[in-house]
Amino acid sequence: MIKVTVYRDNNQIKSFELSGHAESGPYGYDLVCAGVSAVSFGAVNAVLKMTDIELEIEQGHEGGYLRVSIPDSVDEGLMEKAQLLFEGMIVSLETIERDYNQFITIQSK
């Protein structure tokens, strides 16, 4: 199962962590894994391209782990852009969770 944890402070996303494997299909045909990967990496790439924020990114060597943190010293305007993009990511992940909740779970802390 993929576990998504979103860490918030004052209702703003400060970081998020994805861990585990969906195992909803054979390797290379796992639609849940592909969807979660596309949504999360797409959001991270959008933030990197559309802002000057240097995100702190940790990845597992064989997949199955991603942690992204937004530094505290981010300009307010850039933070708004990052928040919008990451909130969009969360909405997309929640859509996947709604249809495939046996393979993905999302929680906020």
The answer to whether 43 and 87 have CB atoms below 8 angstroms apart is no
The answer to whether 86 and 16 have CB atoms below 8 angstroms apart is yes
Catalytic positions, please? 21, 33
